[in-house]
């Protein structure tokens, strides 16, 4: 076995159907008495429910979380937190809402309690992103890692099937790249394989029965494990590609991950055989890239970048941008092969 370093990130996880009801006790454990609840406009009703559960311990709702955490929104939310003398922020929602919580924590060191309702995994990472003048600045800071995470599968019962599938494959992407990460270790590999297997079981089930409590529970459990991998080890080509495509061409986050992942895996396949066999084993298949592609296609997710807004003329620029910075990846970045990868993802070719 190779030498490795393993560091556990500090987080308290409460998992289980109905666990939202434990929120007052968890707030108390954080010694917080004045919580600001964060949400998107669409999830205002859920935030109001949280506020009702907390009673006087909820001092307000900020319902303007949006994708990519614009710096103006972050400033506004910080200002509201200050004016209400909040001593904690509760982020209920997907990666965008949790990202807003992280921006508040970065500014003020307020503790964040996260209640995820998608499978994106941000709640398990010390990674933040803030968008200013069209550019998303990302960084790592332990202050932004939520202190407590409540995973209540009942809160994702209404997540539409197409979002469940793409968000679930977004989570799988964290684990898949974790399996060939330059700083991976045996523990994160266990988490990754288990996380992929749980989502691989859950997504087809959710396609048939979106309200199936056991499948919702499996999917959230898988998302937790995959998010833990993202928080613990470095990502590679796939995440770089998605960051570029999302940031420069404004493509939707989870769909982009879903479409690109099979092609990024195909690119790295011969350089990362152990990772490929673990992914394939987790998905009960013989070939990792095509198994991920099939999981997406058979469950109704988009499989071509041209179907989510990328233009053919963007492909050259995208591959230029991806080539600009070299970073750890099992297979070195080769210009022509990256361009071919993007073309395949654009056309939705099965790898």
Crossing angle, helix 253-268 and helix 335-347, to 10 degrees? 130
Q: Whole-number minimum distance, CB 333 to ligand NAD, in Å? A: 22
Question: Is residue 37 classed as helix, strand or coil in its secondary structure?
Answer: strand
Question: Among residues 18, 134, 139, 158, which is the contact residue for ligand NAD, using CB under 6 A?
Answer: 158
| Residue 351 contacts ligand NAD per CB under 6 A | no
| Residue 228 contacts ligand NAD per CB under 6 A | no
Residue 94 or 302 with smaller CB distance to ligand NAD: 94
Residue 36: beta bridge partners? 60, 89
CB count within 10 Å of CB 198 equals 26
Residue 153 or 330 with smaller CB distance to ligand NAD: 153
Question: Among residues 70, 95, 153, 348, which is the contact residue for ligand NAD, using CB under 6 A?
Answer: 95
| Residue 159 contacts ligand NAD per CB under 6 A | yes
DSSP at 59 = E
HSE-up of residue 267 (Cα within 13 Å, Cβ side) = 28
DSSP symbols for 100-155? HHHHHHHHH---EEEEE-SS--GGG--EEEEEETTEEEEEE-GGGS-SEEEE-GGG
Q: Whole-number minimum distance, CB 213 to ligand NAD, in Å? A: 14
State phi, psi for 219 to the nearest 5 degrees.
-65, -40
| Residue 67 contacts ligand NAD per CB under 6 A | yes
**Closest of 52, 116, 111, 53 to residue 81, by C-alpha:** 111
Per the CB < 8 A criterion, the answer to whether 156 and 244 are in contact is no
Q: Which residue, judged by CB position, is nearest to ligand NAD in the bound state?
A: 95
Alpha helix segments (H runs only) across 142-212: 161-179, 186-208
Site for ligand NAD in 39-58 (CB under 6 A): 40, 42-43
| Residue 99 contacts ligand NAD per CB under 6 A | yes
| Residue 93 contacts ligand NAD per CB under 6 A | yes
Part of the chain binding ligand NAD (CB under 6 A), chosen from 48-56, 77-85, 116-124, 199-207: 116-124
Residue 131: beta bridge partners? 70, 136
DSSP symbols for 329-348? -SS---HHHHHHHHHHHHHT
Residue 43 or 344 with smaller CB distance to ligand NAD: 43
Question: Among residues 38, 47, 94, 149, which is the contact residue for ligand NAD, using CB under 6 A?
Answer: 94
| Residue 153 contacts ligand NAD per CB under 6 A | no
| Residue 73 contacts ligand NAD per CB under 6 A | no
Q: Whole-number minimum distance, CB 131 to ligand NAD, in Å? A: 9
Quote the tokens at residue 190.
Answer: 């266990």
Question: Among residues 73, 96, 188, 299, which is the contact residue for ligand NAD, using CB under 6 A?
Answer: 96
Residue 50 or 57 with smaller CB distance to ligand NAD: 50
Point out which residues bind ligand NAD (CB under 6 A). 40, 42-43, 67-68, 93-97, 99, 117-118, 120-122, 125, 127-129, 155-156, 158-159, 167, 230, 253-254
């Amino acid at each position: 076995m190779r030498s490795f370093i393993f560091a556990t990130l500090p987080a308290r996880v409460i998992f289980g159907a109905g666990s939202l009801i434990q929120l007052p006790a968890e707030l108390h454990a954080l010694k917080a008495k004045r919580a600001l609840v964060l949400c998107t406009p669409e999830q205002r009703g859920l935030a109001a429910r949280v506020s009702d559960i907390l009673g006087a311990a909820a001092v307000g709702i900020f319902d303007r979380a949006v994708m990519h955490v614009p710096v103006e929104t972050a400033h506004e939310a910080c200002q509201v937190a200050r004016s209400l003398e909040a001593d904690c922020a509760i982020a209920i929602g997907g990666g965008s809402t949790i990202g807003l919580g992280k921006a508040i924590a970065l500014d003020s060191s307020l503790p964040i309690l996260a209640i995820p309702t998608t499978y994106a995994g941000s709640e398990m990472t010390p990674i933040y992103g803030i968008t200013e003048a069209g550019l998303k600045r990302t960084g790592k800071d332990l202050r932004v890692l939520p202190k407590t995470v409540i995973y209540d599968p009942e809160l994702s019962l209404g997540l539409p099937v197409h979002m469940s599938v793409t968000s679930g494959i977004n989570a799988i992407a964290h684990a898949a790249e974790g399996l060939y990460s330059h700083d991976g270790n045996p523990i994160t590999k266990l988490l990754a394989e288990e996380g992929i297997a749980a989502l691989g079981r859950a997504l087809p089930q959710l396609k048939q029965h979106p309200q199936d409590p056991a499948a919702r529970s499996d999917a959230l459990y898988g998302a937790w494990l995959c998010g833990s991998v993202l928080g613990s080890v470095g990502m590679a080509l796939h995440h770089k590609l998605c960051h570029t495509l999302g940031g420069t061409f404004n493509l939707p986050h989870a769909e982009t991950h879903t479409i690109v992942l099979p092609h990024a895996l195909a690119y790295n396949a011969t350089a990362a055989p152990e990772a490929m066999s673990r992914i394939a084993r987790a998905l009960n298949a013989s070939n990792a890239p095509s198994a991920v592609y099939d999981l997406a296609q058979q469950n109704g997710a988009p499989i071509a970048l041209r179907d989510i807004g990328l233009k053919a003329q963007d492909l050259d620029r995208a591959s230029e941008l991806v080539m600009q910075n070299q970073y750890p990846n099992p297979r070195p970045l080769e210009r022509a092969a990256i361009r071919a990868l993007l073309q395949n993802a654009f056309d939705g070719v099965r790898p």
